[in-house]
Structure 1
Amino acid sequence: MAALMLQGCGSDVGKSVLVAGLCRLFANRGLAVRPFKPQNMSNNAAVTTDGGEIGRAQALQALACRAAPTVDMNPVLIKPQSDRRAQVVVRGRMLRTQDAATYQGRKGELLGVVLDSYRRLAAECDLVLVEGAGSPAEINLRAGDIANMGFALAARVPVVLVGDIDRGHVIAALAGAKAVLAKDDLNAIHGFIINKFRGDPELFTDGRRAIVELTGWPDLGMVPWLAAASHLPAEDAVTLERPGAADAVRRLKIIVPMLSRIANFDDFDPLRAEPEVALTFIPPGQPMPGDADLVILPGTKATLADLAFLRAQGWDVDLAAHVRRGGRVLGVCGGYQMLGRRIADPHGIEGPAGEAAGLGLLDVDTVLTTRKTLTHVAAEGFGARLTGYEMHVGVTTGPGLQHPFLHLDGEGAHGACSLDGRIMGGYVHGLFEAGAFRAAFLGRLGARSRAQDHGARVDQALDEIAAELARHLDIATLARIAGLETLPT
């Protein structure tokens, strides 16, 4: 059973991209590869072929393996609803909602589930590439751990530790991990990788040597800043907090307010890549700019709470002014629900039970229910075809549905539009992936599109990343650590 686990010296050190790149690298060499993440925390999720949901990163890694995503690839998914409470999704289905302290005390109960999923994956492939979560050096979380060393030791999977040089103090991060980890955990580590290096690599030769001397771990390579990673879907909202470059010459200005529990914001990556589109995420504390052409209300893990958050930011006033000026609005999933007249959560599915008036821009009402829709869809809109997926709780009804946003194959009318067509909404995620639909949609707003299917660009980026990893990592040693007897070339 060949397997290798990448753990990191913190969150956002690039583990997801490295695992995706290695998945594609080994898949390109003819191996059957599967990704695995025991526990993930993210509100960016994907629908699996077996009817569940997993973290977006594992769905991308499955794509890198050229394999269908399944719930076993991410058996435990934590979806935050507030600062202290989250939904616990196990094997693709919601198990319960818990506060952080309770989950921390009970997470060890899920180790058996995690190991079962891992073993099923291992039985169907040549190599499993495992991604850790956060850092194993967070020793305050070690008891009952299922995400890092707790899993690695239980499954007997060798570990390689990743340090992020772009954020600085990488020598201290790796040496510090060596200093605080318990002996059994240290014995699981077989080397380290430096990630996100910019500049002349010779300038860090002494630094790499120092890490080897301080830790005793083998140096398995240093990965440069991977420009192609910008074409991959991001999973962590921290990426939205980084300012993008302003582009005054772009024809169409689209803004997306950053809701407190924003979900599946990678829906809009294809728009960001369009040369005539300036896509901007508006952070809390800032008003919506008055010159936007389109406002997109994104998905959210807590619709009622984020509707209140939107109003607390004054964005409801900004949105009303935008509509009075003739601007257009698109609501996706939770954003679609907010555009209606009323939202009710009688069972407390996404937080405390309650209801609230919506923004009143679409003539529909939504009631959140205990049944969650998780399905892939094919549809037509604006005269073009698209594919996507639905991932939501809630049933939406009302006269506005007589003017649908899309038509789903086998189901018919979907979503709603205002009579003048300027306000639109629906539950379908990933609708901008298809080049033809994106071109038709942007054409209605006066912008031209490359009309390239976004998936083709993502696939190309994975090959580019795999090639870079082959140049900069000791792939033969990584394969040997994983337990591969032979490494195809």
Structure 2
Amino acid sequence: MTKAIMIQGAGSNVGKSMLVAGLCRAAVKRGLSVAPFKPQNMSNNAAVTSDGGEIGRAQALQARACGLKPHTDMNPVLLKPETDVGAQVIVQGKRFATMKAREYGTRKADLIPRVLESYHRLAARHDLIVIEGAGSPAEINLRAGDIANMGFAEAAGCPVILIGDIDRGGVIAQLVGTDVILPDADRARIKAFAINKFRGDPTLFADGMTAITDHTGWLPLGIVPWFDDAWKLPAEDVMDIATRKGGAIKVVVPRLNRIANFDDLDPLAAQPDVTVEIIDAGRPLPGDADLVLIPGSKSTIADLAHFRAQGWDTDLLAHVRRGGHVLGICGGYQMLGREIADPDGIEGPATHVRGLGLLDVTTTMSAHKRLNLSNATYDATGDTVSGYEIHIGETVGPDRDNGWLTLDGRREGAASGDGRVKGCYLHGLFASDGFRGSYMAGIGAPVQSLNYDAGVDATLNELALHLETHLDVAAILGLAETIPKSA
């Protein structure tokens, strides 16, 4: 008799992912077995799962809130943008196709059986499924074949709670306008609403809550004040990291157009003595950086061209001449080499391009994607490193002899002769506290001791308490309905 409730938003970035994580943790604390579910996500910030696939990183955090390991059934369709008009489509953790947006729009309805298959597998193992929508159901131009919002709610037979974001203004219009524009059947699925990201005295919006209820008939569930500790949780959007100012140790990160798997930055940003600064296009790389970290990319060759177009290649050489340190992870590692070859046109037209030339290695793209949860050893100190690999391409060359990690019995990564420029394919390595401290000490910038994982779990507990204080969680759980066997 598993029950389900779906959280949808009156717009994008209203805080659905964080609310679902907090509700999951709150329900677990009430003794329920809970799992998160997002039928369709769009993100290049992916997590490798225990069953050898990939899902959106927000669902990995929600799984953590439930005390579960991430599984591909939690996010059966993941869209990973490669260009402005096309994306790689991941279905149940594996690459399904690369499609233009228009083509995907005509074929997404074909994926609903796979989505429901994953949903029901989860439901068979848990008491409650907390479902997250994507974007907004008010985008009625996308309703035909929808699998992300009301299309899924209809197919699964689940009730919906709608969330409005008051921080961006116009929240009454967001919610009431959604009610007005939806077709009758979709409107009937919305049972309640809540307001998120409120700053100030919530009693000042009491009349607003009444107005929304009067226009829609929806049950008001509460006003959630801004959660000040949100920055302590892994970020879904890289710009959520951009304002994290810590201390004098500066890590500079060029913002690539197709930046991917930037969870490497979260533990560094959590350090009280480290400032992680995201550098947008048009700005030079600051000259006072201790470390320039080039992150992963979904389109390495295109992002390398973007990197050069900003003049960052010149800035990076100047940084190295000043004695600065450089770390490239995954796509950033590939960029640091002498050449990237794509003879089969994996990322676009077949080509080979000159790399940044700071590591004596070359990379050849291939269709095979490596997806592994991995444990490694930092050779310099013996520290254990846990992380994951998610990449295409093989990298070879003399500087691989200076590999600085041992992973599954093999040397991983590459380093320049003086050790100040390093690269590797292992994501998530800075979440390992011992390694993070040793690595930063190795660049002359020791950091304070910090138990990163314990901090994330403590913040999830604080988030659950925050929601228990300001939302009617009992009413939310009461609105959850038994999943129809025929859905």
- Distance in 2 (alpha carbons) for counterparts of 1:271 and 1:476: 37
Letter in 2 for 1:343: I
- Distance in 1 (alpha carbons) for counterparts of 2:431 and 2:79: 26
- Distance in 2 (alpha carbons) for counterparts of 1:94 and 1:354: 22
Whether 2:378 is the aligned partner of 1:378: answer no
Match of 2:184 in 1: 183
Letter in 2 for 1:459: D
Match of 2:300 in 1: 303
Match of 2:315 in 1: 318
Match of 2:456 in 1: 458
Report how far residue 353 of structure 1 moved: 2.2
Report how far residue 343 of structure 1 moved: 0.6
Report how far residue 239 of structure 1 moved: 2.8
Report how far residue 320 of structure 1 moved: 1.1
- Distance in 1 (alpha carbons) for counterparts of 2:245 and 2:221: 38
Contact 2:329-2:425 within 8 A present in 1 as well = yes
- Distance in 2 (alpha carbons) for counterparts of 1:222 and 1:348: 50
Once the two structures are superposed, the pairs formed by residues 330-349 of structure 1 within 5 Å of their partners are 330-349=327-346
Match of 1:395 in 2: 394
- Distance in 2 (alpha carbons) for counterparts of 1:231 and 1:180: 37
SS of aligned partner of 1:429: coil
Report how far residue 153 of structure 1 moved: 0.6
- Distance in 2 (alpha carbons) for counterparts of 1:228 and 1:484: 34
Letter in 1 for 2:209: R
Contact 2:254-2:278 within 8 A present in 1 as well = yes
Match of 1:364 in 2: 361
Report how far residue 449 of structure 1 moved: 2.1
- Distance in 2 (alpha carbons) for counterparts of 1:52 and 1:124: 19
Letter in 2 for 1:367: T
Moved more, 1-10 or 346-355: 346-355
Report how far residue 451 of structure 1 moved: 2.6
Report how far residue 405 of structure 1 moved: 2.3
Contact 2:336-2:358 within 8 A present in 1 as well = yes
Moved more, 265-274 or 166-175: 265-274
Match of 1:480 in 2: 478
Deviations 1:55-104 (A, max 9, x none): 00001100000011110100000000110111000011111111111111
Deviations 1:372-393 (A, max 9, x none): 1110111111312110000001
- Distance in 2 (alpha carbons) for counterparts of 1:9 and 1:405: 47
Contact 1:297-1:332 within 8 A present in 2 as well = yes
Deviations 1:336-379 (A, max 9, x none): 00001111122222223211011111111111111111101111
Contact 2:412-2:424 within 8 A present in 1 as well = yes
- Distance in 2 (alpha carbons) for counterparts of 1:345 and 1:3: 45
Whether 2:288 is the aligned partner of 1:287: answer no
Deviations 1:297-341 (A, max 9, x none): 000000000001101111111111111111110000000000011
Q: Percent identity?
A: 57
- Distance in 2 (alpha carbons) for counterparts of 1:448 and 1:175: 52
Whether 2:448 is the aligned partner of 1:438: answer no
- Distance in 1 (alpha carbons) for counterparts of 2:462 and 2:209: 25
Deviations 1:402-458 (A, max 9, x none): 1012111x3321000111000000001111001111110111123232332311111
Deviations 1:143-171 (A, max 9, x none): 10000000001100110000001111100
- Distance in 2 (alpha carbons) for counterparts of 1:246 and 1:478: 36
Match of 1:52 in 2: 53
Q: TM-score, normalised by structure 2?
A: 0.96
Contact 2:290-2:445 within 8 A present in 1 as well = no
Contact 2:244-2:275 within 8 A present in 1 as well = no
CA distance 1:478–1:246, shift in 2 (3 Å): closer
- Distance in 2 (alpha carbons) for counterparts of 1:392 and 1:322: 27
Contact 1:435-1:450 within 8 A present in 2 as well = no
SS of aligned partner of 1:166: helix
- Distance in 1 (alpha carbons) for counterparts of 2:256 and 2:372: 24
Letter in 2 for 1:465: L
Report how far residue 251 of structure 1 moved: 3.0
Match of 1:419 in 2: 417
Unaligned runs of 5+ in 1: none
Match of 2:12 in 1: 11
Match of 2:101 in 1: 100
Runs of 4+ in 1 over 4 A off after TM superposition: none
Whether 2:155 is the aligned partner of 1:157: answer no
Moved more, 313-322 or 451-460: 451-460
Once the two structures are superposed, the pairs formed by residues 14-29 of structure 1 within 5 Å of their partners are 14-29=15-30
Contact 2:245-2:274 within 8 A present in 1 as well = no
Match of 1:139 in 2: 140
Whether 2:130 is the aligned partner of 1:129: answer yes
Whether 2:113 is the aligned partner of 1:112: answer yes
Contact 1:385-1:436 within 8 A present in 2 as well = yes
Report how far residue 246 of structure 1 moved: 5.5
Letter in 2 for 1:396: T
- Distance in 2 (alpha carbons) for counterparts of 1:257 and 1:229: 23
Whether 2:32 is the aligned partner of 1:34: answer no
Q: TM-score, normalised by structure 1?
A: 0.96
Report how far residue 464 of structure 1 moved: 0.4
Once the two structures are superposed, the pairs formed by residues 234-245 of structure 1 within 5 Å of their partners are 234-239=235-240, 244=243
Moved more, 261-270 or 344-353: 344-353
Moved more, 444-453 or 455-464: 444-453
- Distance in 1 (alpha carbons) for counterparts of 2:422 and 2:142: 44
Contact 2:371-2:388 within 8 A present in 1 as well = yes
Match of 1:407 in 2: 406
SS of aligned partner of 1:432: helix
Letter in 1 for 2:125: E
- Distance in 2 (alpha carbons) for counterparts of 1:473 and 1:175: 20
Report how far residue 479 of structure 1 moved: 1.1
- Distance in 2 (alpha carbons) for counterparts of 1:43 and 1:255: 20
- Distance in 2 (alpha carbons) for counterparts of 1:152 and 1:118: 12
- Distance in 1 (alpha carbons) for counterparts of 2:476 and 2:248: 47
- Distance in 1 (alpha carbons) for counterparts of 2:452 and 2:244: 21
Once the two structures are superposed, the pairs formed by residues 187-202 of structure 1 within 5 Å of their partners are 187-202=188-203
Whether 2:201 is the aligned partner of 1:209: answer no
SS of aligned partner of 1:63: helix
SS of aligned partner of 2:164: strand
